[in-house]
């Protein structure tokens, strides 16, 4: 079975902090994705990566950056966390169109 893991299930950070969310997949997938999920808005794509060191902006990249130094690991970085970044963050990976999701990280910024 494909396994996608995220470093934290729950995270509480203060405004202005630098925040790292980590995602690891164990199936040698080329593609990895970061989404944020908010009530009534569904899943919105922040960034995705189609290869090591390659990335592409999604629909809402502002305030976020990403890093993919190894194929299995994709990190989402909030350079200076703000309260409007309080959300559920979901990581996914795929080798084609079918995506496999991690359990999510619920981030609260106070």
Partner 1 sequence: AQSVTQPDIHITVSEGASLELRCNYSYGATPYLFWYVQSPGQGLQLLLKYFSGDTLVQGIKGFEAEFKRSQSSFNLRKPSVHWSDAAEYFCAVGAQGFGNEKLTFGTGTRLTIIP
Which H helix or E strand runs over 23? strand 19-25
13 vs 100 by CB, closer to partner 1:
100
Piece of the chain touching partner 1 by CB under 8 A; list 13-21, 64-72, 79-87, 96-104: 96-104
CA 104 to chain centre: 9
Work out whether 84 is an interface residue with partner 1 (CB under 8 A).
Answer: no
**Site residues (CB under 8 A) for partner 1, limited to 13-72:** 31, 33, 40-43, 45, 48, 50, 58
CA-to-CA separations, 26 to 77, 79, 81, 97, in angstroms, rounded: 21, 27, 29, 17
73 vs 100 by CB, closer to partner 1:
100
Tell me 16's DSSP state.
Answer: T
Q: Shortest approach of partner 1 to residue 110 CB, angstroms?
A: 20
């Amino acid at each position: 079975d494909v396994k996608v893991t995220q470093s934290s299930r729950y995270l509480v950070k203060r405004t202005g902090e630098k925040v790292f969310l980590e995602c690891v997949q164990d199936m040698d997938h080329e593609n990895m994705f970061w989404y944020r999920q908010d009530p009534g808005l569904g899943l919105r794509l922040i960034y995705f990566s189609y290869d090591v060191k390659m990335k592409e902006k999604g629909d809402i990249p502002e305030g976020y950056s990403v890093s993919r130094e190894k194929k299995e690991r994709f990190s989402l970085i909030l350079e200076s966390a703000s309260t409007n970044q309080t959300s559920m963050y979901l990581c996914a990976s795929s080798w084609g169109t079918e995506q496999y999701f991690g359990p999510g990280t619920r981030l609260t910024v106070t």
